[in-house]
Structure 1
């Protein structure tokens, strides 16, 4: 464990950031699962709402650099294609 005041503060900050990042990644996963469930149920309205929600969450995660912006764009694209098939 670090002894310098600045290193202790940096450690505290990294723990907070880690928790925020984990929370956001979990939100992305849960929203994606909800979209897949809506696609499986063939409910167009639910799919549209879920896709809008996933897109928003992924864009927010990309803007905060929790996921890479190209990864977010790829996931949004693939989810859109999957939702448009029904």
Structure 2
């Protein structure tokens, strides 16, 4: 428990930020899982249409501070490689 008023305020603020970050991370992971399921099915046309939206969600998570810039770029690169590997 916080001993100072400012520490209590910070704890409350951090709790809100944690929920916001968790929601952003969950949305990103859900979009990536949906995309990977399409890639696993081998449907290149659908994967190609889903790719820009999925990359946008990853970029948004990066902008919000959920992901580091390099981690986001690495994830986007790997997703793009998966689409390009489809025959």
Q: Same fold (TM over 0.5)?
A: yes
User: Which residue of the partner structure matches residue 26 of structure 2?
Assistant: 26
Encode CA deviations 1:22-57: one digit per residue, 9 max, x unaligned: 111111111111111111222233212321122111
5+ long unaligned stretches in structure 2: none
TM-score in terms of structure 1 length:
0.89
What is the number of equivalent residue pairs in this alignment?
86
User: Which residue of the partner structure matches residue 80 of structure 2?
Assistant: 80
Encode CA deviations 1:32-84: one digit per residue, 9 max, x unaligned: 11111111222233212321122111111111221100000001001001011
CA distance in 2, matches of 1:27, 1:78: 18
User: Which residue of the partner structure matches residue 42 of structure 1?
Assistant: 42
